[in-house]
Amino acid sequence: MADMNTWQQFWYYMSENGAYVLSQFTRHFLISIYGVLIAAVVGIPIGLFIARNRKLSSTIIGIANVIQTIPSLAMLSIIMLGLGLGVNTVIVTVFLYSLLPIIKNTYTGMASVDPNVIDSAKGMGMTSFQRLYMVEIPLSLSVIMAGIRNALVVAIGITAIGAFVGAGGLGDIIVRGTNATNGGAIILAGALPTALMAIIADLVLGAVQRRLEPKKARS
């Protein structure tokens, strides 16, 4: 082992522990996804609601902003006090961090729909609900998607810290590497897949977001 350089050690680690890395990769991904999905389920309706009730928007977005300013390690520790060690604490943390980009983007997306389109939709006799699902949501979907994309990339980073509260995931490998002497290769085995996951998530959701954009002229 000692005569190999860091990269050789890295590939050696990966070939010996590939299955373990993959299982942690999956676990890491699922923790992030669950947190973001729950945030989307909660955050999108909140965003739609404050878009219709503009007076509440500054309060709600203000609260989400405050949550965002808490350092992630501190947040994990605080939530750990309530939920104890384990995966749930991380999912809740991811959820809280994802709320702001999702609520904010939903609100922005709704607010940026051309008021003339809303006016003519109303004037043509669409009910409030029809306006929402036939006009406003389709037109703001790409902006909402951008919020989810943003949230997911952040979530992957937060989940890596989740190893400190015993949630597992790729952070676990990184922590293992920092504890070992000459653990550089092990750190890489945890960090590179994390980075790769974030990049792929960003690219895939970026493509989805572009597909959801309202149709433009194709000349």
Partner 1 sequence: MATAQPIVQYLDVNKVYRGGNVAVEHINLTIERGDFVCLIGTSGSGKTTTMRMINRMLEPTGGQILFNGEDIHKKDPVKLRRQIGYVIQNIGLMPHMTLYENITLVPKLLKWPEAKRRAKAESLIKMVELPVDYLDRYPAELSGGQQQRIGVIRALAADQDLILMDEPFGALDPITRESLQELVKSLQEKLGKTVVFVTHDMDEALKLATKIVVMDGGHIIQNATPAELLQHPANQFVRDLIGEERLIQARADVTTVGAIMLKNPAVITPGKSLPEAIALMRKRRVDTLLVVDDNGYLKGFIDVESLTHQYQKSTAVADIMQTKLFYVQETALLRDSVDRILKRGLKYVPVVDADNKLRGIVTRASLVDMVYDTIWGGDNDNGESGNPAPVDQEPAEGGGVNE
Task: Provide the binding-site residues for partner 1, judged by CB under 8 A.
Answer: 114, 116-117, 119-127, 130, 135, 138-139, 214-219
Q: How far is the CB of 109 from partner 1 (least distance, A)?
A: 13
Q: What span, in angstroms and rounded, lies between the C-alpha atoms of 64 and 42?
A: 12
Given the complex with partner 1, which of 69 and 116 has the nearer CB atom?
116
Q: How far is the CB of 216 from partner 1 (least distance, A)?
A: 5
Given the complex with partner 1, which of 26 and 120 has the nearer CB atom?
120
Q: How far is the CB of 122 from partner 1 (least distance, A)?
A: 7
Q: How far is the CB of 56 from partner 1 (least distance, A)?
A: 19
Q: What span, in angstroms and rounded, lies between the C-alpha atoms of 68 and 62?
A: 10
Contact 87, 167 (CB under 8 A): yes
Listed residue (50, 45, 70) closest to 60, CA to CA = 50
DSSP state of 133: I
Given the complex with partner 1, which of 16 and 114 has the nearer CB atom?
114
Given the complex with partner 1, which of 55 and 218 has the nearer CB atom?
218
Given the complex with partner 1, which of 18 and 138 has the nearer CB atom?
138
Q: What angle do helix axes 6-52 and 87-111 make, rounded to 10 degrees?
A: 50
Number of CB atoms found within 10 A of residue 80's CB: 19
Q: How far is the CB of 202 from partner 1 (least distance, A)?
A: 25
Q: What span, in angstroms and rounded, lies between the C-alpha atoms of 59 and 208?
A: 31
